[in-house]
Amino acid sequence: MIQIGDKVKFLNAVGGGTVTGFSGKNMVNVEDNDGFEVPVLISQLVLVDDRRDEKPDAGQTKRESQSQVQNKPEDNSAERIIVETSDAPEFYFAFVPENAANPIAGEMKAYLVNGSNFTVLYNYSHLNEGEYSSVKSGKLEAGTKLLLESFSQNELNDLPDFYFQLLFFREKSKNCELPVFKRIKISPVKFYKEKSFQRSVYFSTGALLIPISNSDFEDELQDLTSQEIHKVIREKQEPKVKKQLNLNPDLVEVDLHIHELLDDNRGLSNHEMLEIQMKTFREKLDEAIKNGIKRIVFIHGLGNGTLKQEIRKELSLKFKKYAFQDASFQEYGFGATMVILRK
């Protein structure tokens, strides 16, 4: 509804002005920009909303800005753990399946868990071909867990190495704690084994918990005896190329993932890597036959299926006397082939 003082524009003519009064039921007087007052039908006027041109109150703008910040939801906020925290530095890298009944059917969520009463400053990275890529960093309060990222089923077969840098402290303490630097490498096979996911106080469903309380160097010192130290030194002097077959009269597992066979596969084509995997397959199968192994499982993963096809093709052509089949789905999913060498 048009009122006195409203600014209007003429509908069928150029210009406009301000309403100064009413001269009838359907007509008003409009003072145009030149100061002339003219009678105009209300139906021939368009009301102009000039409040858009007014400058907003600075205080109001500030209050609205603060309100937006306060109401903005926090992304990736940590969850409180309903558990008594420990005086010891208890930190875990945890994998929790989205589908507890079938872990490899859905996404796998990765968490950083702080089960201690320390405050933790963390940096979580991926390590690929000698290069660190920081994924997330920040502060994790005592007795909380934080979702770091999620992995799809296909990504589980080609995970990077994970690296954690942790600096932990209390507001008041008699000790200054040493920081933790931890590299974690996970075999994809673990995700296919039901026993890998155990119940804990940190999650309502089963989870794969990997401790990261000690630095790599501390872990190695705790495990090594004087004799083992000399053994490690000798091994370090020789390039590590392939893992040895772990002999067992009943069942042997051979992981054919390329990162399990070579320390460094940079510069190799897909064909060259396949050649190395097939060579290892032949060597380990021959070795198992000679040593009287009953069954041998070759872990080839899902991928695009090329390695699996090549293995089964060679078994059908060159090792016809031995039966083969998919290995236990519960243990390996669809990513392994079992060869039965003797009953």
- pLDDT tens per residue across span 172-196: 888 888 899 999 999 888 888 878 8
What pLDDT shows up at residue 229? 57
For residue 202, how far is the Cα from the chain centroid?
18
Domains and CATH numbers, the chain: 1-51 (2.30.30.140), 79-223 (2.60.40.1600), 239-340 (3.30.1370.110)
For residue 31, list its beta bridge partners.
Answer: 18, 37
The yes-or-no verdict on residue 276 having pLDDT over 50 is yes
Residue recorded with tokens 């875990």: 92
Reported pTM: 0.46
Bridging pattern class, strands 37-41 and 144-151: unpaired
Mean pLDDT of 288-295: 90
3-class DSSP state of 157: helix
Question: 71 pLDDT exceeds 50?
Answer: no
Cβ pair 7, 17 in contact under 8 A: yes
Pull the structure tokens for residue 32: 């145009």
3-class SS at 4?
coil
